Amino acid sequence: MKIHSFSKVLAVIAAIPLLVFMFYTFDGRSQWAVYGLVPCLIVLVAIYVGHGEIDYWWIKRHPLTLDKQLKEWLQQYDPFYKSLSADEKIRFETRLVLYLEARMFKSVGSEHHDVPHDIKAVIAGQAVRISFYHKDHLIGDYDRLFLYKHPFPTPRMKFLHTVETEHEDRMIILSMEHAIPGIVNRQEYYNIVMHAYAEAFAKVHQRFDWPDGKIEDWNGITQILGITKEKIESTIGYTQQDILPVLIVAYFYDQELFAKYLPEYVMRFKDIFDNPSRLQ
């Protein structure tokens, strides 16, 4: 049997002596039993505070298997996953499970709610792709993802938009109305999820040899993605001053077209994103 939450197992184990000490304390059988309560409580509080890290540590050493339905979805809709060897698919699936365990997804409305597991997996697959050939498959400390149903305003961007990568607080905010279509129907919609992860990845790995990008690159981008600059910016909800995340989205969309229309960036991006030596 696979253990999904090792922290809960530890909590149960730690609770047993706590209950014993409580029994002897309140029963009056031992005046020393009260001194056993404090360390037990400290252990339980530590488990509660660090349960995320504990569970991630456990699952990293005892990986869970990906749901059969999610595997079938990847095989049908994810071109990168389909192109992988059997061993690489296992690595992809393992990293996907680890990412889901290590990151918090919240649906935002009048209240915060849990996000369905399949929706989380679809979004997380984009993170797994962009970091597939890197040891840091979690993309730094961007550990919270907030999902609105529709475009949203934020304190930093007080107008309706669909994607925001908040570097100071290390979180990603997305509009669900635009996120999933950009992944499953790439021919018609811009992939705002990959856009957000591209911004986070570039921020985490600033030391890499990133291209500055030029206004003229929009011509190649539109040829690759098959959508106009105006549609991309109307989708995200603002003028994209930094062209780098859009270049990255175009690279992952179709590398053959990318090599055709933006050949000057191909080797740089291959070295950054698809260099197996970075796993060492």
Q: What is the mean pLDDT of each run of 10 residues along the chain (280 residues)?
A: 61 73 62 66 73 64 75 89 92 90 87 83 96 92 95 96 96 96 93 98 96 94 96 96 96 97 97 89
At 28 the pLDDT is 56
Of 225, 220, 226, the closest CA to residue 260 belongs to: 220
At 85 the pLDDT is 93
Which is it for strands 112-114 and 104-108: parallel, antiparallel or unpaired?
Answer: antiparallel
Domain boundaries, the chain: 6-59, 63-273
At 224 the pLDDT is 98
At 15 the pLDDT is 74
Instruction: For tokens 């509080």, name the residue.
Output: 45
User: How many CA atoms within 13 Å lie on the side-chain side of 68?
Assistant: 0
Separation between Cα atoms, residue 266 and residue 244, nearest integer Å: 13
